[in-house]
Amino acid sequence: MIVDENGVFRPYGYTGGGLYQKREDDAFFIDFDITSQIDNHLLEFGTGFSQHTVRGYGVFAGSYAQQPDNLSDPEKFEAIQPFVYGYDVTGQTKTTTDEANQFLRPYKPDIGYAYLQDRFELQDIVLNIGLRMDYYNLKSYVLKDPALPYAGGSDPYDFDTGDFQIRDAEVELSPRIGIGFPVTSGTVFHAQYGRFIQLPELNDVYFGPYCYNEYLIWHHKVDSTEH
C-alpha cells in the first residue's frame, strides 16, 4: 500500500477520512438490428446480449491511517472492513471466480434484450406497435428468508453463506404503442403508451463480505426500476 507522509492514500498531505474507491465493469457486447420495408409496414427487429465482470472497492483513508503500526496490511484492512468484491481485502489484487471466499469473487451478470416493432401507415393515421423483452441475470445474492435472515445458514445469531442464495433471473415484457393523425392542415395529434425498464447501476446491486450487518438495515432487493 503506497501512502503519503501523513499515512493516507493521496499524496501532497491530503488528510481526513475521505473515501477511497474504485469500480470496474468489463463487458462484452453483441448487438444485431435489421429494418425492412414491406408495403406500408416498416418492420424493425433487434436483439443483443452483454456479459459483464463487475468489481468494487471502497475504504476510508482515515480509518486505515488510524490502525496500529504493529498490524500487517491485510490485518489493518480486515479491521476496518472495506466495501469489497472482485478484489482482495487490500484492494490491490483482483480476485477470480476461484476465490475461496465467494463474496470476494467478481460478479458476472448476463443481460439481454430483443424487440420487434411495426410502423404502418394508413390513409390518415400512422400506428407504431412494438414489444420489447429484457433479460436480466444479475447473479447477485439475496436472503433466503428476509423475515428470518439468520435462519438459512448454520449460525442462528450471525450471517453465513447459507443465509444467501443467487437471485433468480428476470424476464420483463414491455409493450409500446403509438398513434398519430392530422387534426388540421398544420396540426398533428400524437399519443404514445409504453412500459420502460431501467436497470440500476451494476455496482449498486452487489455487496461484499463485510456488508452483512448493513444488509439488514439498508439493503432491499434491487429490482429493475420501472418508469
The whole-number average pLDDT for the span 150-157 is 82
Q: What pLDDT shows up at residue 5?
A: 55
Q: What pLDDT shows up at residue 136?
A: 95
**44 in any annotated domain:** yes
Q: Residue 219 above 90 pLDDT?
A: no
**96 in any annotated domain:** yes
Please report, in angstroms and rounded to a whole number, the separation of the first and last CA atoms in the chain.
44
**135 in any annotated domain:** yes
CA-nearest of 53, 56, 55, 35 to 45 is 35
CA distance 125 to 122: 5
pLDDT tens by residue, 155-214: 887 778 888 899 999 999 999 999 998 888 788 888 999 999 888 888 888 988 887 655
Q: Residue 54 above 70 pLDDT?
A: yes
Work out how many domains the chain is built from and give that number.
1
Q: What pLDDT shows up at residue 223?
A: 44
The domain of 45 spans 19-226
- Identify the bridge partners of residue 83 per DSSP, sorted by sequence position: 58
**129 in any annotated domain:** yes
**9 in any annotated domain:** no
**12 in any annotated domain:** no
CA-nearest of 107, 95, 98 to 139 is 107
Does the pTM surpass 0.75? The reply is yes
**10 in any annotated domain:** no
